[in-house]
Structure 1
Amino acid sequence: MYEGRDMTELSLMSITDWKDNELGYFHHALQQVTPYLNSEGQTIHREIMDEIQSRGGTQQLEL
């Protein structure tokens, strides 16, 4: 089970400061509801995916 900061707290900080487990968790969660995301949710998900890629991809995340 995820035990980290919630999206409200994370949205107040730069995505580059998110921990790997936070990126992984919210990427998975948003991926599951992709068909239902509005444009803001899609933008957040895209930013998460870009940050994951900049860190070397999902295999490189320390979950």
Structure 2
Amino acid sequence: MYTGRNLDELSMIPLSEWDLEELSYHHYMMAQMSPLMNQQGVSLHQDLIHEIEGRKHQYQHHPSDLS
């Protein structure tokens, strides 16, 4: 069960400062609710997806690979 911050708490915090658990949970919930979301919700969901994808690419590159 998710016990992190809710969207109300997170709305004033940049996505870059959300932890991965928060991003994953709210992405999942928005994916379930997508048929019911307005344009603002759809836009936030797309932003969440971009943040998750960006972090995935960031973690795929190990610092030792850069040398």
**TM-score scaled by length of structure 1:** 0.87
Structure 2 unaligned residues grouped into runs of 5+: 61-67
Based on CA coordinates, which of the two structures has the bigger radius of gyration? 2
Bigger relative contact order, structure 1 or 2 (CA pairs below 8 A, ≥6 apart): 1
Structure 1 unaligned residues grouped into runs of 5+: none
Number of residue pairs the alignment of both structures matches: 58
Structure richer in helix, relative to its length: 2
**TM-score scaled by length of structure 2:** 0.82
RMSD of aligned residue pairs (Cα, Å) = 1.3
Q: Which runs of 4+ in 1 moved over 6 A?
A: none
Q: For 2:20 and 2:26, how far apart are their aligned partners in 1?
A: 10
Percent identity, aligned pairs only? 36
Q: Which residue is 2:40 aligned to?
A: 40
